[in-house]
Amino acid sequence: QVHLMESGGGSVQTGGSLRLSCALSEYSYTILCMGWFRQSPGKEREGVAFIDDGGTTHYADSVQGRFTISKDNNKNTLYLQMNNLNPEDTAMYYCATPVKEAGLQPCAVLRPNPRRFGNWGQGTQVTVSS
């Protein structure tokens, strides 16, 4: 089991920026892939950005060039820098990791299917107004 805690959400205007953080704790197995998902009311959970243990990143087309995923292994923290936000980015944002049995799977295998990620934070709300 992995404990995940997101922070950094808020309300911004179109064109604004936010930086989300996700603190990871209480895990004892190797995790090669971590990711950020988002979900807005009435829509399915969408994979936004993923990062492999070696630093390779993957992005959804809708955020490519605007969002940047990164991690600090010393702090056990995952980040999502979001720039040039627009109202379509409004959603609850979640960080996620796979369960132990899939911990050695790379992002290329796991993403963007949320069913392949078994550990989730409580989410942080991002609201972008026009």
For the stretch 77-123, pLDDT in tens is: 999 999 999 999 999 999 999 988 888 899 999 999 999 999 999 99
Residue 25 has pLDDT above 90, yes or no: no
Residue 47 has pLDDT above 90, yes or no: yes
Average pLDDT over residues 43-65: 96
Do strands 77-82 and 3-7 pair parallel, antiparallel, or not at all (unpaired)?
unpaired
Enter the tokens of residue 31: 């995790």
Residue 15 to residue 85: CA distance in whole angstroms: 5
Residue 12 to residue 57: CA distance in whole angstroms: 25
